[in-house]
Structure 1
Amino acid sequence: MQKEGERLIPINIVDEMKSSYIDYSMSVIVSRALPDVRDGLKPVHRRVLYGMYGLGVFSNRKYLKSARIVGDVLGKYHPHGDSSVYDAMVRMAQDWSLRYPQVDGQGNFGSMDGDPPAAMRYTEARLKKISDEVLSDLDKETVDFQNNFDDSLTEPTVMPTKIPNLLVNGTSGIAVGMATNMAPHNLTEAVNAICAYIDNREITIDELMQHIIAPDFPTGGIIYGYDGVRDAFHTGRGRVVLRAKVSFEEIGNRNAIIVTEIPYQVNKAEMIARTAELVKDEKITGIYEIRDESDRKGLRVVYELKNDAIPNVVLNLLYKYTALQTSFSVNNIALVHGRPEQLNLKDIIHHFVEHRHEVIIRRTQFELKKAKERAHILEGFMKVIGTQDSLDRAIAIIRHSANPQGAKEGLIEAFELSDIQAQAILDLRLARLTGMELDKIRDEYDTIMKEIANLEDILANEPRRFEIIKEELIDIREKYGDERRTEIDYSGGEMSIEDIIPNESVVLTISHAGYIKRTLLSEYKIQSRGGVGNKAATTRDADFLEYIVSATNHQYMLFFTEKGRCYWLRVFEIPEGSKTAKGRAVQNLINIEPDDKIKAYIRTNNLKDSEYVNQMSVVMVTKNGTIKKTSLEAYSRPRVNGVNAIEIRDNDQLLGAYLTNGTSQIMIATKNGKCIRFPEEKVREVGRGSIGVRGISMEDNDEAIGMIVVNDIENETVLVVSEKGYGKRTAVEDYRITNRGGKGVITLNITEKTGNLIAIQNVTDEDGLMIINKSGVAIRMNMDEMRVMGRNTQGVKMINLKKNDEIAAIAKVEMDKDVEDDSEESEEGADTVTDNQENNTETTPQVENENPTEETENSDSEE
């Protein structure tokens, strides 16, 4: 309710919010979160140093209670919470947070394990010796002062620092709409780079980088790769990869990885706890025990390895999954004349040198003013007491004056003195009137006149001023400079674990319930066609092996799910298991949704090769006969949560995905034994989110069972397999080319004995084939044992099936000529076959319908 005398002013809320938010954001940017490019300090750090300066707690004085310091800073300069001041002061005292700490703390100031510091009432602090250089010449009018929050005192707007603090200590802060993250550097290198800049203002950043090589972090470690450093120096933004410093030792009869330095800003205790979780979850294998043996002498973390573990492989897993390798994202944003700017290395050095130049000028002007004031007084002394006669006259004037004012006026009139000179004469002690003291006054005057000439020369001579800056910096380097802590691995780059893991041929098996494993191909022994097979894998109740994929360790696997999502894994990231192992749930390896299921896969080479990913395409087919073609480039940027690969409609699901090169031919088969062949060009390329186009037309009770991509028509043949174990190889040319979307032609004469078609594959005589059935029995055979036959025949029996067992999947594999038939291993699977099959190592092909009827041939016309 409006009170009497008040009036309401309507204000547009949008304008008011905009104005208020801009004011707030500028306050955070200028007065809280960003450092000044000149002294590298945020307001809170500047106020802590100035508060300690005011209390006189210098490096050569005794410690003062932290609560006293915090209270003084709060009450005089920083009207915020006491924790904001104490936390800032604590960080300034931590030698693992700042490369060159500015506060000397006594008591518990925290640890690298993230332990909090003791309360401020228990700790004490004073300034470090290096902070004296930050505050040097503060009393010589070298910087501007401003009123504090209540206008009762003044505080400096910037420190006249001799230390290039922004470079050597870095900083980090989050403002509104922007953030800064500046890396620390070595003081010796920084001084060398600044001196080189002073000698040559046109120096390039690459030339500066010969002096200041890279960031130098307080916790040491290794900078892995130089590209990020180069980007940061040139542009002000870059990603610097940091690794722990490690070595290998033998402890007892075990190998151990010893960590002596960890990356900057890594919490050691959290890193160890996280590693222990990964070991427990079997994400990292080969570690027997983890111990933290750090003490006051230094850091030491021990990863004791299992007897069969390879140290380099385990180390690379630690780099990949834990904080033993991190990245520091450089973002050099600082306040330049009150405005935030992104700065490269040369910009930071330029602004620091300009600041030092201004400090030198203002300091010299202050000293010149003081020198001239002293010379003025000394000139008065020499006028009055320079001779015995003048001294006697002055004493007589003073003795006969009624009061000090009269004496002052008498001296001014008699000797033509200024008011200041006359007052200095009156203040002079009688002891200074001796002959020896008079000589000292003359000597002091001569000295101060030389000093005035020197100071005036400095102000008139710019090169001399820059020489002074260099001399002071070199003095700083001699006092506080030290060796670089962080090493640089120039040959490093993005971590390449494949350099350690051999590029071996492996078999991936994926079960219907989503269990996956990687097994060396050499574990599967070659058998003749019709053999009973080996026990391939133990599956859970009601589960069976659905996919078998041959691959090599360094390849990429793209997983496509029935919901149309795509996920990525490197083959070596899939856990290794024996032939009889169950494997690991895919949900533990990729972020697949609980109700989703892998339906297709493709193997690719390097997804970072732009020429390769733009040349190749991904062609997908669904159960309803829809086909879709998309450039591999659309799938070349792996994401943790996957991407949409194809839009799947109701009652449809993805069947397969294949790589094509643009000139391939596509064949799609259905469960009723139909197959269509058409050129890849008939399918236009569309985006990832599209549905696709019709690949084959089918009857209501039919559905597509798979697709193959043919690139070598002369040598490749079409292999189709039915669920009851029958299969057949046919020449590609037996399937005439038609338009996309037709009904196709018969590929296998489907009968009750054969069962429905379940797989189609393109093979050559050099290929091997793996067949696996739902009970887990696998057989591996050479394709040259199967002869090529007509298109719509029933085929030959490829595997003996027990009872009501059926084939679950087939996969083409590279045959290893060094692997020999192992009859003993056949006996491992003896319990899976019937008595009359037990000794059967080869069966005679059962060919039926070799000469198809005219009715079957006429089906060729169906399109």
Structure 2
Amino acid sequence: MSDKKILMPLEEIMGERFGRYSKYIIQDRALPDVRDGLKPVQRRILYAMFKEGNTHLKPYRKSAKTVGNVIGNYHPHGDTSVYDAMVRLSQDWKMRVPLVDMQGNNGSIDNDPAAAMRYTEARLSPIALELLAGLDKETVTMALNFDDTEYEPTVLPAKYPNILVNGATGISAGYATDIPPHNFEEVIDATIYRIKHPSCSLEDLMQWIKGPDFPTGAIVEGKEGIVNAFKTGRGKVVVRSKVEIQEEKNMNVIVVDEIPYEVNKADLVRKIDEIRLNKNIDGILEVRDESDRTGLRVVVEVKKDANVQNVLNYLYKNTDLQKNYNYNVVAIKNKRPTLMGLMEILDSYIEHQIDVVTRRSIFDLNKAQTRQHIIDGLIKAISILDDVVKTIRASKDKGDAKHNLIEKYEFTEKQAEAIVMLQLYRLTNTDIVALQKEHDEIEALIIELNKILDDPKELRRVIISELKETKSKYKVPRLTVILDQIKDITINKEDLIIPEDIYITVTRDGYVKRISPRSYKASEKTVFGKKDEDVLVNVFAANTVDKLLLFTNKGNYLYVPIHELEEFKWKDVGKHISYMIKVNNDEKIIKSVLVKSFDLPCYICLASANGQVKRTALREFEVTRYSKPIKCMNLKGEDELVDVALSTGEEGLILVSEKGYAALYSEELISVLGIKAAGIKGINVAGDRVVGISAFLPTSKDCLILLSEKGYIKKIRLLDIPASNRTSRGVLIVKKVKSNEQRIVSAFTVNDQQSLHIIDNAFVHHSFEAKHFNTTTIDTRFASMVEGVDNILMGLLDDVIIAKKGETEIKPKTEKKVIRLDEPNLFDAAAEMPVKEKKESIELPEVHFYDEDKPKKFKKLTIDDVLSEDE
């Protein structure tokens, strides 16, 4: 036993063994040979059937008999693997030109398995014989089989480039191959052209071979991908189903009659039906598979009022109605796996054909010369027939007769053998003429064969002639349509969403819920579900096609398609928005905007704690990818975003600081910047911080509400606040009292028709009417304290908590003149407003006035321009 021990490191043993295994499966299992396009198992199946005479000229034979023959003589593997390979060779939806003609159930395009091999029968197809023709003339190298009992071919002669015609797929150790089928006639034409023009370019070859030709037809898009594949062996094309849209009285119908290569039709139909059942897209009524023996047909019925092209585009994107095919042309060349382009494949095939024709010519030449030699002997023997007969009769036996003929008449061994075996009837005068004629024919054949062997041009002429002959036998029309450009598929996502009126709630901590009107109405006396220290800050009456923008303190915003929000009840806490969009723990939501259309001429105004402001067009906030927060303001250092306002482009802005300063000026002084810009200085807040920004119409009678942390409120008419320079500190609008300093926590504009909502530090909600608070001038202190509120956490408007319990119908509030940030129907209202022409903005001095002729513009005035108090 000690003599049998292997003293080697395990990694060396495993490496050496796995290396041998890998070499075997690369060379002799999974990858096709570039010369005949066959894997070993396929080659052995064809050879076994050919050797047994199981051709199309004879009756079918049981598949089990062929499988047993292959396993017993050539391929010592499982019967299932051999039968599966045999079945694939017979499937006309997998092979462009099937090599096996099978009778019985050989599977289906729905991936149904074939019947057991004891039930099916098979024989070689006519075109398969073109791969095997010439095997009996020593055209290829033969090798011993696994038990050294007989020989098998290492490659087939192959009268056409099968590797391109039928393609191949396979996975081995470290290598994989994906070669699509191509058109039989086009491949032969390209091969002939390459033989005639060895130095031709790829562009020249592509005049003949246009691209892949799948047995399932369909449409291939992307000439650039085909060119790359033909040039390098790698390339990507788009394969799209062939469809027809039919308009009927009550519906539109999408009819699919060709699908991409190697797509499981049953799975495709199932996937489309799942989309219908899950209502991923609105409009699909029914999906039916109407395929029969005459051809493939899948019918998708679509609602009459649905956008049928949009539905089709969605199916292209989300099912195998369209898929990518990636060329990966790896084949065995000189016993090595090689990535090859079209020209290298054709050159390898042509080189193989040169070798095959040369070997065949040598075989035929030897045979012809041998026959010529015998005929010469027979003719000579007949010319001295009496002497030859006398010599044979005088001999003791056959051997002695041969010896005597060689000695007396100088015949060779082969000639003597032919003479003694000659039948008496061959001695007639007619047969002598036939021998002379055969001699002349053989002489001409020998001259022709020598010419083929001596002249490379003549050899190539023979190859071209045989390729043309093969092409003429089989007519294989192109099935796949080739298009140069990849058609851009655009999906209008709005059309895919089922419009539905709903309610959206947003809390300060970022919990966003979608609530159905039915659930909302049923929860009239139910407490809103939230965390203990969270606050409901927005209730939007919305639609599933709307979008929600959530702004965070880190200068980011979250783009939330409302139809993707999960539905909860009013009393449920719901989920944090991070389940949809990953948000860091230190990132808090400060404002939300409901968007019905990004095409409106509106602007988002952003303000940071350090006084930076920026104005960005609303359309820039629309994105297609929204899996993470998107930058909307580039903040520096410890700065953070504190407030957001929305304007029409012709409004005034007011920024309020924590210490009671306010800067009021036209929004036109703020440049319109890109979404990732840092902004410009909007107010000087040295030792202070901004708490709010609001937009207002110059002619409005709105007031500014200030709320302090100690529970005080101050209401100021906007008309009483002087305008300021953009970069100044602004105007002090609250008189400071050292004995009772007040820090402002909320500042926003309000009209007397609105309600005011205050959340105190105990998270108790208080509601007040704005008109019940008296207005004061800017030179007064906080005088009035909010009744029942000791410490204020934040203030909200009626526009925020606008939805009334039991309300199910969503109506635009077009009667409102002021466009508020938090208004649920904000963009409905904005769409109703006239948009004025933009004019040059003028900075206001200390005194300002609103020109009645131009109610939305600021006018520069002097003291002399001010008339009576009434005016």
TM-score, normalised by the number of residues in structure 2: 0.68
Gaps of 5+ in 1: 519-533, 605-617, 628-634, 647-651, 659-665, 687-694, 739-743, 759-768, 787-797, 800-805, 821-863
1:496 aligns with 2:493: no
> Do the aligned partners of residues 657 and 500 (structure 1) sit closer, same or farther apart at CA in structure 2, a change above 3 Å counting?
closer
> Do the aligned partners of residues 206 and 423 (structure 1) sit closer, same or farther apart at CA in structure 2, a change above 3 Å counting?
same
> Do the aligned partners of residues 89 and 779 (structure 1) sit closer, same or farther apart at CA in structure 2, a change above 3 Å counting?
same
Residue number in structure 1 paired with 2:781: none
Amino acid aligned to 1:816: A
1:403 aligns with 2:400: no
Residue number in structure 2 paired with 1:450: 444
Question: Helix, strand or coil for the counterpart of 1:58?
Answer: coil
Amino acid aligned to 2:468: I
Question: Helix, strand or coil for the counterpart of 1:158?
Answer: coil
1:748 aligns with 2:747: yes
Counterparts of 1:28-177 in structure 2 under 5 Å? 28-177=25-174
Q: CA deviation at 1:106?
A: 0.3
Residue number in structure 1 paired with 2:831: 816
Question: Helix, strand or coil for the counterpart of 1:497?
Answer: coil
Once the two structures are overlaid, the 10-residue window that deviates more, 433-442 or 114-123, is 433-442
1:423 aligns with 2:427: no
Q: CA deviation at 1:774?
A: 6.2
Deviation by residue 1:140-192 (Cα, 9 ceiling, x = unmatched): 11111122222222211111101211111111111122211111111111112
Residue number in structure 2 paired with 1:212: 209
Q: 2:406 aligns with which of 385, 405, 412?
A: 412
Paired with 2:82 and 2:627, the residues of 1 have a C-alpha distance of 41
1:773 aligns with 2:764: no
Q: CA deviation at 1:720?
A: 9.7
1:361 aligns with 2:389: no
> Do the aligned partners of residues 244 and 110 (structure 1) sit closer, same or farther apart at CA in structure 2, a change above 3 Å counting?
same
Q: CA deviation at 1:775?
A: 3.3
Residue number in structure 2 paired with 1:236: 233
CA contact (8 A) 1:39 1:165 kept: yes
Q: CA deviation at 1:770?
A: 13
Deviation by residue 1:229-262 (Cα, 9 ceiling, x = unmatched): 2322222212211111111224553221111111
Give me the CA root mean square deviation: 5.8
Amino acid aligned to 2:399: Q
> Do the aligned partners of residues 120 and 586 (structure 1) sit closer, same or farther apart at CA in structure 2, a change above 3 Å counting?
farther
CA contact (8 A) 1:240 1:327 kept: yes
CA contact (8 A) 2:706 2:746 kept: no
Q: 1:328 aligns with which of 325, 329, 339?
A: 325
Counterparts of 1:362-401 in structure 2 under 5 Å? 362-385=359-382, 387=383, 390-401=384-395
Paired with 2:260 and 2:133, the residues of 1 have a C-alpha distance of 33
Question: Helix, strand or coil for the counterpart of 1:398?
Answer: helix
> Do the aligned partners of residues 562 and 94 (structure 1) sit closer, same or farther apart at CA in structure 2, a change above 3 Å counting?
farther
Give the total of aligned pairs.
713
CA contact (8 A) 1:567 1:639 kept: no
CA contact (8 A) 1:34 1:175 kept: yes
CA contact (8 A) 1:566 1:642 kept: no
Paired with 2:759 and 2:726, the residues of 1 have a C-alpha distance of 20
CA contact (8 A) 1:558 1:601 kept: yes
CA contact (8 A) 2:283 2:306 kept: yes
Q: 1:462 aligns with which of 456, 459, 473?
A: 456
CA contact (8 A) 1:236 1:332 kept: yes
Paired with 2:576 and 2:182, the residues of 1 have a C-alpha distance of 43
Q: CA deviation at 1:292?
A: 1.2
Once the two structures are overlaid, the 10-residue window that deviates more, 361-370 or 226-235, is 226-235
Q: CA deviation at 1:590?
A: 9.5
Residue number in structure 2 paired with 1:198: 195
Paired with 1:94 and 1:61, the residues of 2 have a C-alpha distance of 20
Q: CA deviation at 1:478?
A: 1.6
Residue number in structure 2 paired with 1:255: 252
Q: CA deviation at 1:129?
A: 0.3
TM-score, normalised by the number of residues in structure 1: 0.69
Residue number in structure 2 paired with 1:23: 20
Paired with 1:587 and 1:205, the residues of 2 have a C-alpha distance of 58
Paired with 2:693 and 2:23, the residues of 1 have a C-alpha distance of 61
Q: CA deviation at 1:77?
A: 1.1
CA contact (8 A) 2:512 2:577 kept: no
Question: Helix, strand or coil for the counterpart of 2:285?
Answer: strand
Amino acid aligned to 2:457: P
Q: CA deviation at 1:226?
A: 2.9
Question: Helix, strand or coil for the counterpart of 2:831?
Answer: coil
Paired with 1:656 and 1:330, the residues of 2 have a C-alpha distance of 54
Amino acid aligned to 1:748: A
Q: CA deviation at 1:382?
A: 1.7
Residue number in structure 1 paired with 2:314: 317
CA contact (8 A) 1:134 1:162 kept: yes
Question: Helix, strand or coil for the counterpart of 1:326?
Answer: strand
Amino acid aligned to 2:409: F
Residue number in structure 2 paired with 1:736: 727
CA contact (8 A) 1:545 1:808 kept: no
Counterparts of 1:600-611 in structure 2 under 5 Å? none
Deviation by residue 1:412-431 (Cα, 9 ceiling, x = unmatched): 11221221111111111111
Gaps of 5+ in 2: 530-535, 596-603, 614-620, 633-638, 646-652, 664-668, 708-712, 730-742, 766-796, 836-871
CA contact (8 A) 1:258 1:303 kept: yes
CA contact (8 A) 1:220 1:487 kept: yes
Once the two structures are overlaid, the 10-residue window that deviates more, 362-371 or 670-679, is 670-679
Paired with 1:62 and 1:809, the residues of 2 have a C-alpha distance of 79
Paired with 2:188 and 2:415, the residues of 1 have a C-alpha distance of 45
Q: CA deviation at 1:21?
A: 2.3
Paired with 1:598 and 1:516, the residues of 2 have a C-alpha distance of 20
Counterparts of 1:402-801 in structure 2 under 5 Å? 402-497=396-491, 511-512=505-506, 514=512, 542=528, 546=538, 736=727, 748=747, 755=758, 772-773=800-801, 775=803, 785=817
Once the two structures are overlaid, the 10-residue window that deviates more, 40-49 or 479-488, is 479-488
Paired with 1:58 and 1:672, the residues of 2 have a C-alpha distance of 99
Residue number in structure 2 paired with 1:178: 175
Amino acid aligned to 1:159: L
Paired with 2:230 and 2:575, the residues of 1 have a C-alpha distance of 43
CA contact (8 A) 1:145 1:154 kept: yes
Residue number in structure 1 paired with 2:280: 283
Q: CA deviation at 1:368?
A: 0.8
Paired with 2:705 and 2:226, the residues of 1 have a C-alpha distance of 57
Paired with 2:814 and 2:501, the residues of 1 have a C-alpha distance of 16
Question: Helix, strand or coil for the counterpart of 1:773?
Answer: coil
> Do the aligned partners of residues 622 and 241 (structure 1) sit closer, same or farther apart at CA in structure 2, a change above 3 Å counting?
farther
Identity over the aligned pairs, expressed in percent?
Answer: 35
Residue number in structure 1 paired with 2:789: none
Residue number in structure 2 paired with 1:839: none
Residue number in structure 2 paired with 1:689: none
Deviation by residue 1:788-839 (Cα, 9 ceiling, x = unmatched): xxxxxxxxxx88xxxxxx968796789435999xxxxxxxxxxxxxxxxxxx
> Do the aligned partners of residues 209 and 435 (structure 1) sit closer, same or farther apart at CA in structure 2, a change above 3 Å counting?
same
Q: CA deviation at 1:224?
A: 3.1
Deviation by residue 1:680-733 (Cα, 9 ceiling, x = unmatched): 99x9999xxxxxxxx9999xxx9998999x9xxx9xxxx999999999899997
Residue number in structure 2 paired with 1:859: none
CA contact (8 A) 1:51 1:73 kept: yes
Q: CA deviation at 1:45?
A: 0.8
Amino acid aligned to 2:747: L
Which of structures 1 and 2 has the bigger CA Rg? 2
Q: CA deviation at 1:73?
A: 0.7
> Do the aligned partners of residues 592 and 362 (structure 1) sit closer, same or farther apart at CA in structure 2, a change above 3 Å counting?
farther
